[in-house]
């Protein structure tokens, strides 16, 4: 079975952090990328929830939206790491 070549936007909530925005080929890849971002920032990664196909307009307009990368690009777009 081959992997879908479709990208999906995910919002990943973890304990003690606002969340991670990730565009990935699968949920497992999204979690892996978010975990790597947490490690890069020296943050713990205790998964709380994952929302696939997140509408970015529903995210925090004061903090997330002005500080995110393009959610159509593969990788972590909040915090902005996918440029």
Domain boundaries, the chain: 8-78
pTM tops 0.95:
no
Residues 76 and 40: their CA atoms lie apart, in Å, by: 12
Q: What percent of the chain has pLDDT over 90?
A: 86
Mean of pLDDT values over 3-20:
90
* pLDDT 10s digits, 22-55: 999 999 999 999 999 999 989 999 999 999 999 9
Predicted pLDDT at 5: 75
User: Which of 15, 45, 9, 43 shows the shortest CA–CA distance to 27?
Assistant: 9
Predicted pLDDT at 82: 80
Predicted pLDDT at 83: 67
């Amino acid at each position: 079975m081959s992997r879908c070549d479709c990208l999906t936007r995910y919002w990943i909530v973890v304990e003690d952090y606002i969340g991670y925005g990730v565009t990935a080929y699968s949920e497992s890849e999204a979690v892996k990328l978010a975990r790597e971002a947490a490690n890069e920032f020296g943050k713990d990664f205790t998964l709380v929830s994952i929302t696939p196909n997140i509408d970015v307009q529903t995210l925090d307009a004061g903090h997330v939206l002005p500080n995110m990368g393009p959610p159509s690009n593969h990788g972590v777009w909040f915090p902005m790491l996918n440029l």
